[in-house]
Amino acid sequence: MNIEALEATPAELKQYEEQGFFYRTRVFSDAELAQLREGAENIHAKIIAEAKREDVPPCDRVDNQRYQSLCGSTVKWEWDKNLEAVRSMEPACHLDSRFEALVDDPRLWAPTRKIVGTPELSVFSDKLNVKRPGGAPFPWHQESPYWAYGAEALDKLVSVLLYLDDANKENGCLWVIPGSHKHGVLQGLKNRGVLGALYTDVDLIDGEAMPADFPAGSVLYFHPDLVHGSQSNRSNTNRRVFVVAYQPGGLHRWRLNKKRQVKMTS
């Protein structure tokens, strides 16, 4: 694969600087996506099976959310207990070889290289988000306040979100507020519990939200200060995404005493 041809173009870099993101549609083929969806369900099933064991750590309750440490991942359960579904798993790629290989795929990392600014990259975090039919919204937020404690190079992180399914307004696609990254780290919500501090008060900023309603196989590259969020899934199909954040080579993964260098084979 020609890595240079995959790097961000001047137009994409300009969009990233001005709007805080750029995207490419249908980067991954249907056959690749079929494999990755299988991998995502494999990870989800492993977590559900682990949760049924008697000797696992209990759920931590934070406001109305339930978190649990399972299979080496911080698991966030769906708000609605009746769904018996895991909403996000972070990290997740160690639980399936297809995702472990995916973080080394140059279609994900090469477009970030000029933004991170170093020839070598490492993985900062990776996460699998599964939004089942009925899955809850994710309030407006930025990644930066969440990552601030533990990042060795917060200003160099780039998030890369791969759409495993078509995403649209009905199934709770991501929404972004273009240009919102220019505000830096914004104030959190007041009097909204522990998690409120991590959600953004969008009344304090201008800018019109835009749905990132792209087809499966598309990739969104975005800044850690970009304000984004999503609505509930009102459809009868899944809306799954894999999100990996890259950083300069040689740095630790978020909250882990581990490093995961990106393998740049070509």
Q: How far apart are CA 243 and CA 236, in angstroms?
A: 23
Two tokens, residue 245: 């954040």
**Closest approach of ligand AKG to the CB of residue 30, in Å:** 21
- Cα-based angle 100, 199, 201 (whole degrees, multiple of 5): 140
Q: How far apart are CA 158 and CA 155, in angstroms?
A: 9
**Closest approach of ligand AKG to the CB of residue 77, in Å:** 15
**Is residue 244 involved in binding ligand AKG (CB under 6 A)?**
no
Q: Which residue lies nearest ligand AKG, judged by its C-beta? A: 230
Backbone angles phi, psi at 250, to 5 degrees: 85, 5
Sheet holding 219-222, edge to edge: 21-24, 219-222, 158-163, 239-248, 121-131, 86-90, 73-77, 65-70, 60-62
**Is residue 230 involved in binding ligand AKG (CB under 6 A)?**
yes
Enumerate residues 120-139 that contact ligand AKG by CB under 6 A.
127, 129, 131, 138
**Closest approach of ligand AKG to the CB of residue 136, in Å:** 9
**Is residue 243 involved in binding ligand AKG (CB under 6 A)?**
yes
Q: Which of 44, 228, 253, 260 binds ligand AKG (CB under 6 A)?
A: 228
Nearer to ligand AKG, 70 or 174 (CB): 174
**Is residue 163 involved in binding ligand AKG (CB under 6 A)?**
no
Q: What is the torsional sign of CA 101, 35, 116, 257?
A: negative
Nearer to ligand AKG, 27 or 264 (CB): 27
Site string for ligand AKG, 30-69 (x = CB under 6 A): ----------------------------------------
Helix or strand or coil: residue 116? Answer: helix
Write out 42-58 in H/E/C secondary structure: HHHHHHHHHHCCCCCCC
Which residue from 214, 226, 105 is spatially nearest to 168, judged by alpha carbons? Answer: 214
What H or E segment, with its residue span, contains residue 145?
A: helix 144-147
Residues in contact with ligand AKG, counted by CB under 6 A, come to a total of 10
Q: Which of 92, 154, 241, 251 binds ligand AKG (CB under 6 A)?
A: 241
Site string for ligand AKG, 169-208 (x = CB under 6 A): ---x-x----------------------------------
Interface with ligand AKG (CB under 6 A): 127, 129, 131, 138, 172, 174, 228, 230, 241, 243
